[in-house]
C-alpha cells in the first residue's frame, strides 16, 4: 500500500517535471507544500503557461481557480514562500489576456519573481490575511 506521504511526493515530483522553475525551491520547503490548489498543466494550458513565462520574463504557476484552502498552514502555500513578481502595466495587460483564456478551463495564473526569491512565510501570511501559527 502506498502511503499518503509517498503519493504527495509523487504528485510534487510531477509538478516539478511539468513546471521546471519549481526545481529551484529547496526540497525542505517544496515537499511540504499543499498541492490541492495547484493545477497540473497539460496541453493548451501547459503551452499558455510556457508562453506567458517567456513574454513576462517571470515564472508562472497554474492554480485551480475555484479552489482555496485558507485554513491550511501558511507555510504550505507556494504564494507564502515565493516572492510575487511586480508587473508593469503592459505585463498586467498580457497576464489579463491569458487569464481570459485559462479561466475558461477553471485555471488561474500566479506570477512569481525571476529569479526565485524566498520570503518569510509569516510576513506574507499576515499580508494575505491567512491564519498562521506563531
The whole domain housing 51 covers 4-128
The whole-model pTM stands at 0.84
Pull the grid cell for residue 127. Answer: 499580508
Domain-located, residue 134: no
Which pLDDT score, from 0 to 100, does residue 69 have? 73
Domain-located, residue 121: yes
3-state secondary structure the chain: CCCHHHHHHHHHHHHHHHCHHHHHCCHHHHCCCCCCCECCCCHHHHHHHHHHHHHHCCEEEEEECCCCCCCCCHHHCHHHHECECCCCHHHHHHHHHHHHHHHHHCEEEEEECCCCCECCHHHHHHHHCCCCCC
Domain-located, residue 84: yes
Confidence of residue 3 (pLDDT cuts 50, 70, 90): very low
Whether residue 1 has pLDDT greater than 60: no
Q: Is 73 exposed, middle or buried (0-12, 13-18, 19+ CB in 10 A)?
A: middle
Whether residue 130 has pLDDT greater than 90: no
Domain-located, residue 20: yes
| pLDDT tens-digit readout, 15-57 | 999 999 999 999 988 999 999 999 999 999 999 999 999 999 9
Domain-located, residue 133: no
| pLDDT tens-digit readout, 46-62 | 999 999 999 999 999 99
Confidence of residue 75 (pLDDT cuts 50, 70, 90): confident
Summary mean pLDDT of the chain: 88
For the chain, what is the domain count? 1
Amino acid at each position: 500500500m502506498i502511503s499518503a506521504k509517498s503519493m504527495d511526493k509523487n504528485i510534487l515530483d510531477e509538478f516539478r517535471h511539468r513546471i521546471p522553475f519549481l526545481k529551484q525551491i529547496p526540497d525542505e520547503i517544496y515537499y511540504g507544500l499543499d498541492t490541492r490548489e495547484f493545477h497540473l498543466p497539460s496541453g493548451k494550458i501547459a503551452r499558455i503557461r510556457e508562453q506567458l513565462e517567456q513574454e513576462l520574463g517571470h515564472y508562472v504557476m497554474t492554480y485551480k481557480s475555484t479552489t482555496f484552502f485558507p485554513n491550511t498552514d501558511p507555510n504550505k502555500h507556494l504564494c507564502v514562500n515565493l516572492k510575487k513578481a511586480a508587473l508593469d502595466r503592459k505585463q498586467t495587460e498580457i497576464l489579463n489576456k491569458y487569464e481570459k483564456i485559462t479561466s475558461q478551463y477553471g485555471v488561474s495564473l500566479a506570477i512569481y519573481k525571476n529569479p526565485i526569491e524566498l520570503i518569510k512565510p509569516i510576513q506574507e501570511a499576515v499580508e494575505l490575511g491567512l491564519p498562521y501559527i506563531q
